[in-house]
Chain A
Amino acid sequence: MSGFGWAFARDLTLALRHPGGTMLTLAFFVLVASLFPLGVGADPQLLARIGPGVIWVCALLAAFLSLGSLFADDFADGTLEQMMLSPDPVFAWVSGKIAAHWMVSGLPLTLLSPLLGLQYGLSSEALGALAAALLLGTPVLSLLGSACAALSLGARGGGTLLALLALPLFVPVLIFGAGAADAAANGLGAGPHLSLLGAMLLAAAVAVPFAGAAAIRIALD
């Protein structure tokens, strides 16, 4: 996995040098999650029931926002073609880019989620399950979303096309992720949900970089 290292370091450095995009995504996440109680009313039982689902949907929306620029910036200035010329396998540096993307989008979201969960009055079991589910699920979102971003490189329709492509693939992650926190809140144990999320993560981590590599080759032809 010799390509993983430099791609990961490069993207992470770039993201940390220009924190605007990351901050924007996080701010969006927090903002939208805070809007729901205002719109729905402050009934604590209702908020505790919809909390996990709302926070997960906000995570999905934040993913749509941040995924657009994953390959697009490099594609626009020709860096992506240069990276294709590297002797390292394509799936390796694609994995590196995706990992760096998760570090600055999914991981901060996961770390912020207990605070948002408290806003919704979630119990401590639910908070723990939600954070664990996000920890397992946000990398899957980054992986699946990056494949869709690679497929839609240079397409008309931009961000909306990306959302349309990624939405069907995100649905299982959303269902099991929100379900994990719900199960924990109802005392049923989030084990099965988290196991399924873990399985999705393993499968996606292994398979998606190859799909992403194929998509980038298609885009660069």
Chain B
Amino acid sequence: MNLFYLSSPSTFFHFAGRLAPWFFGLAAVLGATGLYVGLVQAPTDATQGEVYRVIFIHVAASWMSMFIYFVMACYGAMSLTFNSRLSAMMARALAPTGAMFTFVALWTGSFWGRPTWGTYWVWDARITSELVLLFLYFGYIALANAFEDPRRGDRASSLLAIVGVVNLPIIYFSVQWWNTLHQGSSVKLTGSSMHVTMLTGMLLMAFSFWMYAIGAALTRVRSIILERERRTRWVRALRPA
């Protein structure tokens, strides 16, 4: 099958509609399993007690906040290079979900920091750059919607997303470059220093959030396609939902 057929909004609309429920379903199953492993199976931590269990949401949400921004920037680059409408629509569809995960990462980190570090907030490098990421998401959404012509908004926000990608390595490497309260990475591609049940819980939640993000983006892009393409013949011929 020629994948380029998918770049037409009408084809993708139906494709996304068929796929989205599967992704939500996967997210629910993975999430339920991950929560069980994290809250029931994983042992109590030696130093932190029970409160360390925030990690199962905090780390997954942080990973997603960065990953979604990266994918959003990729779609932005595609929309600028190929002048593709659908790529820009996908980028717009991802932004609110990315902002949500960034907020969750900051919030859960704050409530994890209070009992462990003694404070709700500290201006260390990683937390500050994650906050900057949240502002980048807001800026992207604001810029995309700031113009009468939606294509102008597409292009401007795509450029902004690409420029802001420089923040991602800063977030990721900040714990290596600066002395911060944040611990260094305990999960690397080569292995992990964590207890295996905790790691399983974290990975399950991360995959759950990933599947959820795809489902949410596919659902959102369908609404965006409908609004943008409402004057086309294929939309007018759709059966009312």
Do A and B contact each other directly (Cβ–Cβ < 8 Å)? Answer: yes
A-to-B contact residues, CB < 8 Å: 147-148, 151-152, 154-157, 161, 164-165, 167-169, 171-172, 175, 211, 214-215, 218-219, 221
A141 to chain B, nearest CB (A): 15
Residues in B neighbouring A172, C-beta threshold 8 A: 170
Residue pair A155, B159 in contact (C-beta under 8 Å) = no
Residue pair A151, B159 in contact (C-beta under 8 Å) = yes
Residues in A neighbouring B128, C-beta threshold 8 A: 171, 175
Residue pair B138, A164 in contact (C-beta under 8 Å) = yes
Residue pair A151, B143 in contact (C-beta under 8 Å) = yes
Residue pair B155, A218 in contact (C-beta under 8 Å) = yes
Docked Cα-Cα span, A161 to B142, in Å, equals 7
Does B122 belong to the interface (CB within 8 Å)? no
Give the contacting residue for A165; candidates B139, B167, B170; CB below 8 A. B139
B-to-A contact residues, CB < 8 Å: 80, 128, 132-133, 135-136, 138-139, 142-143, 146-147, 152, 155-156, 159-160, 163-164, 167, 170
A218 to chain B, nearest CB (A): 4
Give the contacting residue for B156; candidates A156, A168, A215; CB below 8 A. A215
Residue pair A156, B163 in contact (C-beta under 8 Å) = no
Docked Cα-Cα span, A214 to B132, in Å, equals 24
Residues in A neighbouring B163, C-beta threshold 8 A: 147, 169, 211
A50 to chain B, nearest CB (A): 14
Question: Which of B136, B143, B164 has the most A CB atoms < 10 Å from its CB?
Answer: B143
Residues in A neighbouring B164, C-beta threshold 8 A: 168-169
A204 to chain B, nearest CB (A): 11
Give the contacting residue for B143; candidates A152, A175, A214, A221; CB below 8 A. A152
Residues in A neighbouring B156, C-beta threshold 8 A: 151-152, 155, 215, 218-219
Residue pair A157, B146 in contact (C-beta under 8 Å) = yes
Residue pair B159, A215 in contact (C-beta under 8 Å) = yes
Closest 7 CB pairs of A and B: A155-B146, A168-B135, A218-B155, A168-B132, A165-B139, A168-B136, A151-B156
Known: A156-B147, A171-B128. A218 touches B159 (CB 8 A): yes
Chain A, Cβ-Cβ closest to B133: A168
Residues in A neighbouring B143, C-beta threshold 8 A: 151-152, 155, 161, 165
What DSSP secondary structure best describes chain B's contact surface? Answer: helix
Residue pair B147, A211 in contact (C-beta under 8 Å) = no
Residues in B neighbouring A165, C-beta threshold 8 A: 139, 142-143, 160
Residues in A neighbouring B146, C-beta threshold 8 A: 152, 155-157, 161
Residues in B neighbouring A214, C-beta threshold 8 A: 80, 159
A160 to chain B, nearest CB (A): 9
Residues in B neighbouring A221, C-beta threshold 8 A: 152, 155
Residues in A neighbouring B167, C-beta threshold 8 A: 168
Docked Cα-Cα span, A211 to B163, in Å, equals 8
Docked Cα-Cα span, A175 to B167, in Å, equals 14
Residues in A neighbouring B133, C-beta threshold 8 A: 168
Docked Cα-Cα span, A154 to B160, in Å, equals 16
B88 to chain A, nearest CB (A): 12
B172 to chain A, nearest CB (A): 15
Docked Cα-Cα span, A221 to B155, in Å, equals 10
Question: Which of B80, B133, B160 has the most A CB atoms < 10 Å from its CB?
Answer: B160
Q: A164-B138, A164-B139, A171-B132 are in contact. List 11 more A-B contacts (CB 8 A).
A: A148-B160, A155-B156, A156-B146, A157-B146, A161-B146, A165-B160, A168-B164, A169-B163, A175-B128, A214-B80, A218-B159
Chain A, Cβ-Cβ closest to B154: A218
Residues in B neighbouring A211, C-beta threshold 8 A: 159, 163
Residues in B neighbouring A151, C-beta threshold 8 A: 143, 156, 159-160
